[in-house]
Amino acid sequence: MFGLIKTWKALEAKGIMGINRRNADYVLKYNKRSLYPIVDDKIITKQRAIEAGIHVPEMYGIIETEKDIDKLKDIVKDHTDFVIKPAQGAGGDGILVIADRFEGRYKTVSGKILSHEEIEHQISNILTGLYSLGGHRDRALIEYRVTPDPIFKSISYEGVPDIRIIVLLGYPVMAMLRLPTRQSGGKANLHQGAIGVGVDLATGITLRGTWLNNKITKHPDTTNAVDGVQLPNWDGFMKLAAGCYELCGLGYIGVDMVLDVDKGPLILELNARPGLNIQIANDCGLTHRAQAVETRVAELKAKGIQETAEERVRFSQELFGHVQPHE
Binding positions for other proteins, rule: CB under 8 A: 4, 7-8, 10-12, 14, 16, 18-21, 24-25, 29, 90-91, 93, 125, 128-130, 133-135, 191-192, 210, 213-215, 279-280, 283
CB of 130 to other proteins, least distance (A): 5
User: Hey, what amino acid is at 278?
Assistant: I
CB of 313 to other proteins, least distance (A): 26
CB of 173 to other proteins, least distance (A): 17
**Measured from the CB atom, is 20 or 34 closer to other proteins?**
20
CB of 66 to other proteins, least distance (A): 13
CB of 90 to other proteins, least distance (A): 6
| Cβ 43 vs Cβ 63: under 8 Å | no
**Measured from the CB atom, is 116 or 215 closer to other proteins?**
215
Determine the Cα angle at 49 with ends 46 and 52, to 5°. 155
**Measured from the CB atom, is 172 or 285 closer to other proteins?**
285
Which of 146, 156, 158, 109 shows the shortest CA–CA distance to 260? 146
Q: Which residues have a Cβ under 8 Å from the Cβ of 203 and sit 6 or more positions away? A: 230, 234, 321, 322
**Measured from the CB atom, is 213 or 223 closer to other proteins?**
213
**Measured from the CB atom, is 17 or 257 closer to other proteins?**
17
CB of 255 to other proteins, least distance (A): 22
CB of 20 to other proteins, least distance (A): 5
**Measured from the CB atom, is 16 or 35 closer to other proteins?**
16
**Measured from the CB atom, is 158 or 283 closer to other proteins?**
283
For the beta carbon of residue 4, count every other beta carbon within 10 angstroms: 8
